[in-house]
Amino acid sequence: MTPETLRYATIMLAAGVGIPILAALNAQLGGRIGSPAAAAVILFAVAFFGSALVMVLTGGTGALAAAPGQPPKLFLGGLFVAFYVLSVTWVAPRFGLGNAITCVLLGQLLSAAVIDQFGLMGAMVREVTPMRAAGLALMAIGVFFTQRG
C-alpha cells in the first residue's frame, strides 16, 4: 500500500466513523427541538460555515465563479445529502442507529459497485468481479442477520 493510498484510506475511514456520529447527534437534536427538518437545517448551516471557512483558508474562493456554468445535474448531490440527513435524522430514533447505518452502508456499497462497474458519472471503471460480488452478497446477508437480532 502506497503512502498516498494509506492517506486516502485514513481520511475516508474517518469520514465513515463520522457518519454514525452525525446521525446520532442530529437525531438527538431533532428530538430535543421537536423537528428533524429543523435539525437538518441547523446541521447544514453549521456545515456551510465550516466549508466556507475551509474554502477561504485554502484559497478556493475563486472557484465559485465557475459554478454557474456547470451542468445542473452536478448540483443534485446537494439533494442526495439533504435526503440522507433528513432520513437518518428521522429514521434512526425509530429504527435504531445501528440498523439505519447498516442499511445505509449496504446501499452505499451496492450503488458504488454499479457506478464503478459502468464508470458512471466519470468514475474510474472497476469491474465487479466474482470476489466483489461475493463480498456484496455477504454484506447483504449481514444486514439481514443484524435486522433479526
* pLDDT(149) > 70: no
* pLDDT(91) > 70: yes
Q: What is the overall mean pLDDT for the chain? A: 93
pLDDT in tens, 106-133: 899 999 999 999 999 999 999 999 999 9
Backbone φ and ψ of 71, nearest 5°: -60, 135
H, E, C per residue of 94-140: HHCHHHHHHHHHHHHHHHHHHHHHHCHHHCCCCCCCHHHHHHHHHHH
Closest CA to 29 of 74, 75, 72, 92: 92
